[in-house]
């Protein structure tokens, strides 16, 4: 059974569940965390096991300064849970975030890269921590317990030791009722922390745009099983309707902090063949201005990789912009050299390859570029 079919079956199974879940009181603060009973404690132990797997997987983003920045946002949103909620970032470009029943909150690099300011990121973090404070994992686990569905899901996933965590986290989404509760509580904390709540609907507007591409439609597991994205936009728009728009955004600091992360995420998406996602992220001059100037090279790579009508011209112009705006960034010259070589502009190709070798004399692909350079010279009758 393919992963896509498994995910579809799991989503279908979850959709068949009754919308309610066992009622429990939310955590009021750190003191409550020491009072959980044995069944919930077992769930926490499994979450700790999951955390350990993630630590050993090599998928955690390890820049401590940025992790501390994320943790600072969480502590500002939920000061009563400081020291009990731990924020982690995964290197994945997939747009996702989820909370575990033990207070571990994971956000993916891809999601962080899409936001324009700290207020938008705080919206997601606030929502996920709300799942923890409201004990949604335990409530959903109680609903699934002792059902034939759970046994079937275990067989489909093939990971029986982790099935409780999968369905007791927000990894695959909660019921509409629980998601709405998390929206309400998360919004309250975002507002209380002084963030600009007018930014909250924009989080899900980003995701609506992303779901228009086939790559995202296949892979956003978390958001595909949340209530409809437009409903989320409408919900946050309702909550923030009469709020002032003078709260904290921290746009400049945010963009400065995620500059390298954003660029790395674009590179990862291209490696995964997700050209449509890259083009969506870089679809306007305003979005391009949020990146270092060599981003134009990656824009050219995205056009080249997509290969739609007119993309050959668009990629060439993007590479030329990269040469103009980031003249010391070597890959742009190699890309232009290959275009000129294919077009029969051999003198131009020779000049581009020579410039590339001058800037990157120890590049790993130097043998290939030397071959292209010799070919360009031979076509001109040079030895």
Residue range 326-346, pLDDT digits in tens: 999 999 999 999 999 999 999
Average pLDDT estimate for 154-177: 52
Q: Give the position of tokens 């790395």.
A: 264
251 pLDDT more than 50? yes
Band (146; pLDDT cuts 50, 70, 90): very low
Buried-exposed string 327-339: b where 16+ CB fall within 10 A, e elsewhere: eebbbbbbbbbbb
133 pLDDT more than 50? yes
- Give the full edge-to-edge strand order of the sheet including 97-99: 86-90, 104-108, 97-99
Average pLDDT estimate for 92-97: 84
Structure tokens given for 61? 């983003």
The whole-chain average pLDDT of the chain stands at 82
pLDDT (tens digit per residue) in 37-68: 777 787 788 788 888 888 888 889 999 999 99
Structure tokens given for 368? 């290939």
Q: Give the position of tokens 């989404």.
A: 173
Give residues with Cβ within 8 angstroms of 133, minimum separation 6. 26, 27, 78, 81, 185
Of the candidates 359, 315, 323, the one whose C-alpha atom is nearest the C-alpha of residue 339 is 315
Give the Cα separation of 84 and 86 in Å (integer). Answer: 6
Give the Cα separation of 325 and 323 in Å (integer). Answer: 6
Does residue 118 contact residue 249 with C-beta atoms inside 8 Å? Answer: yes
154 pLDDT more than 70? no
Band (100; pLDDT cuts 50, 70, 90): confident
Band (22; pLDDT cuts 50, 70, 90): low
Give the Cα separation of 286 and 50 in Å (integer). Answer: 39
What is the per-residue pLDDT for 196? Answer: 97
Going along the chain from its start, the domains and CATH numbers come out as: 3-251 (no CATH), 259-379 (1.25.40.10)
Give the Cα separation of 161 and 42 in Å (integer). Answer: 12
| Position with higher pLDDT, 248 vs 18 | 248
257 pLDDT more than 50? yes
Band (8; pLDDT cuts 50, 70, 90): very low
What is the per-residue pLDDT for 175? Answer: 74
pLDDT (tens digit per residue) in 343-358: 999 999 999 999 999 9
pLDDT (tens digit per residue) in 281-317: 897 777 888 888 999 999 999 999 999 999 999 999 9
Band (151; pLDDT cuts 50, 70, 90): very low
Give the Cα separation of 95 and 121 in Å (integer). Answer: 12
| Position with higher pLDDT, 300 vs 226 | 300
For residue 381, how many other CB atoms are within 10 A of its CB? 7
Band (34; pLDDT cuts 50, 70, 90): low
């Amino acid at each position: 059974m393919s992963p896509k079919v498994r995910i579809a079956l799991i989503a279908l199974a979850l959709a068949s569940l009754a919308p309610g879940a066992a009622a429990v009181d939310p955590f009021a603060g750190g003191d409550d965390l020491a009072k959980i009973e044995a069944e919930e404690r077992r769930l926490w132990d499994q979450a700790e096991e999951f955390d350990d797997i993630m630590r050993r997987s090599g998928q955690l983003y390890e820049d401590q300064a940025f992790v501390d920045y994320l943790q600072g946002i969480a502590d500002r949103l939920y000061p009563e849970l400081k020291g009990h909620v731990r924020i982690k970032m995964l290197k994945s470009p997939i747009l996702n975030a989820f909370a575990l029943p033990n207070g571990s909150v994971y956000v993916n690099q891809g999601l962080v890269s899409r936001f324009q300011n700290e207020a938008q990121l705080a919206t997601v973090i606030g929502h996920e921590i709300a799942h923890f404070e409201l004990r949604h994992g335990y409530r959903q686990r109680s609903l699934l317990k002792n059902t034939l569905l759970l046994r079937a899901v275990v067989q489909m996933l093939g990971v029986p030791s982790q099935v409780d965590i999968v369905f007791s986290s927000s990894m695959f989404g909660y019921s509409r009722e629980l998601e709405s509760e998390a929206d309400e509580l998360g919004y309250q904390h975002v507002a209380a922390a002084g963030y600009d709540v007018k930014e909250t609907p924009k989080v899900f507007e980003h995701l609506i745009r992303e779901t228009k591409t086939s790559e995202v439609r296949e892979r956003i597991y978390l958001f595909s099983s949340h209530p409809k994205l437009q409903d989320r936009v409408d919900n946050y728009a309702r909550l923030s309707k009469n709020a002032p728009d003078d709260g904290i955004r921290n746009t400049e600091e945010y963009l400065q902090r995620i500059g390298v992360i954003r660029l790395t995420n674009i590179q990862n998406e291209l490696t995964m063949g997700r050209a449509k996602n890259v083009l969506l992220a870089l679809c306007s001059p305003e979005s391009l201005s949020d990146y270092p100037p060599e981003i134009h090279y990656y824009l050219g790579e995205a056009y080249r990789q997509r290969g739609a009508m007119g993309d050959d011209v668009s990629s060439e112009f993007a590479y030329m912009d990269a040469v103009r705006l980031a003249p010391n960034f070597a890959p742009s010259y190699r890309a232009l050299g290959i275009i000129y070589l294919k077009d029969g502009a051999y003198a131009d190709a020779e000049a581009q390859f020579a410039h590339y070798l001058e800037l990157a004399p120890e590049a790993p692909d130097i043998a290939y570029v030397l071959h292209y350079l010799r070919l360009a010279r031979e076509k001109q009758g040079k030895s």
